[in-house]
Amino acid sequence: MHVTPDHPRYVSLSLRERLIQAHERGIVSIAGLIAHGRGEAFDYLLGEYTHGFAIDAIEAMAANIVLARHPVFVVNGNVAGLVAEDVVALSRDAPLHLEVNLFTPSAGRTRTIVELIEGLGGVAHTPEEDTATLPGVSSSRSSISVFGLGSADFVVAPLQDGDMVHALKKAGMKTATIDLNPLSRSAHDADITVVDNITRAVPLIRDAVRFLKKRSRKELEVISRFDKEGALHEAHRSMTERYR
C-alpha cells in the first residue's frame, strides 16, 4: 500500500505497512499485528506526540543504561519490525546488549530477527546460546541467554506482556519498559515506564544516552531516579483530558 505524505494518517498507516511487511518476512507474528492496533488506540489518546512525562522517563532510562554494568534491551518481533535500526544504533552508543526473546518463537523466526540485527551492524544474543531459565515465566520466553538477560542488572523490555517484566524484577533486575498503555501490568511493574510510541521514544533514548555519557556518576544517579506513579498519573490525566 502506497501512502502519500499529505494523508492525515500518513505516519500511522506507514507504521502499519512496515509491520505488515515485517510479518511477511517472518519477523512479526499475527498476534503482534493485533497488539500494535491496540497500542494505536492509546496513541490517539496521547495526541500522537511525546509528552513531558515520557521525556522524564526517557532521561531516567538513559541514565540507568549508562550507569549499568550489563544493560540489556529485549527485542521481540514488533520491536524488530518497528525500530531495529534505532535499537542497533542505541546498542552501539550505550553500549547495550541486545537479546531476542519471543513469545511465539521458531528457529526460523529467531534467525530472521538475528540476521536483521546483524545486517544493521548489531550483535544479538538468543536463548539458544548457553541457555538459562527465568523463573516465573511459563511460556518459551523463560529461556534466556546467559550472556544477555542471564547477566543483566538493568533491562529495557518494551512491548512485553506483564509476566516477563514481573519475572525480571523478581530475579533482581531493575527494569524499564516502553508501553503506550499506562494501565498495563508491564507499565505498573517496571521501575521506569515510558508511555509513548516506541518509534518516537527509542531515538530520544539514544540522544539522551549520548548526552548523559558526559555527565558524572553523581549526576547520573540523581537523573536515574524516577517517579513512575506520578508519570503514570500524568499519562492517565492527559488521555482523559483529550478524550473529553
Per-residue pLDDT tens for 79-95? 999 999 999 999 999 99
| Residue 2 neighbours by CB distance under 10 Å | 6
Reading the block at residue 139, the C-alpha cell is 511460556
The end-to-end CA distance of the chain, in Å, is 33
Contact of 90 with 209, CB cutoff 8 Å:
yes
Residue with cell 544479538: 124
pTM, two decimal places: 0.92
Q: Which CATH architecture does the domain made up of 52-243 adopt?
A: 3-Layer(aba) Sandwich (3.40)
Q: What is the mean pLDDT of each run of 10 residues along the chain (244 residues)?
A: 61 80 87 85 93 97 97 95 96 95 84 95 87 81 88 94 87 95 94 97 97 95 95 94 82
Reading the block at residue 234, the C-alpha cell is 500524568
Q: What is the dihedral of CA 63, 66, 70, 74, to 10 degrees?
A: 60
Residue 11: the pLDDT is 72
Domain layout of the chain by residue ranges? 52-243
